[in-house]
Structure 1
């Protein structure tokens, strides 16, 4: 039985004051709340245990940076570039990424709750040992993404490109990838139990079993 999918969006209301990343360095503890940041550029920065609450990012670039153990609640990223950025062991709660570049982003051992990736590029991203519940990947590219030993609890992949994605040692029970595009993915056969696939995808998986499909 397919679980009913419901995801909570970030709760941000009212006017947000414009802020700057440099404001972080004025505080003893790195914390941004009830603000928006537009057009900022950060590269090769390192800020551990950053806390973000009710923050909107628009056209922001945060590349090749490290935000180890970041804590985000009610945060929106729109048209942002977060490529090759480290969010290891972070906590993301009600976070929405829209039209963002997250190529090579590292979310290893992070906890994602009510997170949406909408029309995002997540190629070569790392979700190793990450805990996702619930999470929506909507019309996004996840080519060569790594989901090794990942907990997928109420996760939806909607019209995504998952070519060469790695689901090794990850259960796909209750996961529907029938609308996704791929020619090859990496997965243990036992992990496929309970996964919903399209008819054409079933033929692809049959080759993993060494079966030969006879045309009518």
Structure 2
């Protein structure tokens, strides 16, 4: 499927389960749509002229996939996104507040599933989002808003974390190896169970005024 749409309100089941390649969706409204299992490859959702991203507010994105897409400034607020894939995308300034990547089994038992990899998430908003034990590697997180978010147990390896406030979210048991950690201060961040590589540990110690020999 190859489309060029502008300013269109997408029907609730219009693209459910479809595979859509090399298409443009400028100023399109996907709010409330069911995109379960839908695959977008090489698609553009960001309109440079209006500087508007796609509106996915309250959409069902269960097992949906975005690959090599421009999702800059996209509105992903309140989406249902268990099993979502966002790979090799641009998603600067995207808003994920209220997004659920979670499968509730009981009120106390649940798990998360998301695959967000090799994507530019600079200045994206993940305030209070829960992304535990997810694949989140090789992303750019520069300036991302993460107040109250939980990333515990996730693979954040190979990431870039400039202008990033580690103190405002939960990163326990995360894999941070091979990442540019920016201003990570071990005195204000709970690093229980976190994986770091030798080079990162030396950098962190040097910032504390400790010299490691050998």
Q: Aligning the two structures, in what range does the TM-score lie when normalised by the shorter sequence?
A: 0.7 to 0.9
* Alignment partner, residue 189 of structure 1: 188
2:85 to 93, 96, 117: 96
Measure, in 2, the Cα distance between the counterparts of 1:143 and 1:66.
23
CA 1:26 to 1:136, structure 2 compared with 1: closer, same or farther past 3 Å?
closer
CA RMSD, aligned part only?
2.7
> Relative CO higher for 1 or 2, CA cutoff 8 Å, sep ≥ 6?
1
User: How far 1:61 moved relative to its partner?
Assistant: 0.9
Q: Is the 8 A contact 2:38 2:64 kept in 1?
A: yes
Cα gap change, 1:207/1:88 in structure 2, threshold over 3 Å: closer, same or farther?
farther
| Cα distance in 2 for residues equivalent to 1:187 and 1:150 | 18
Long gaps (5+) in structure 1: 1-17
Report deviation, 1:101: 0.8
Which residue pairs with 2:15 in the alignment? Answer: 32
Alpha-carbon spacing, 1:184–1:40, altered in 2? closer, same or farther (3 Å)? same
Alignment CA distance shift 1:33-1:60 (3 Å): same
Query: Is 1:47 aligned to residue 25 of structure 2?
Result: no
Q: 1:85 aligns with which of 74, 89, 94?
A: 74
Query: Which segment is superposed worse, 55-64 or 151-160?
Result: 151-160
Question: Alpha-carbon deviation of 1:192?
Answer: 3.0
- In the TM superposition, residue 25 of structure 1 has moved relative to its aligned partner by 4.6
Greater alpha carbon shift after TM alignment, 168-177 vs 193-202: 193-202
2:163 pairs with 1:180:
no
Q: When the two structures are superposed, what TM-score results if normalisation uses the length of structure 2?
A: 0.77
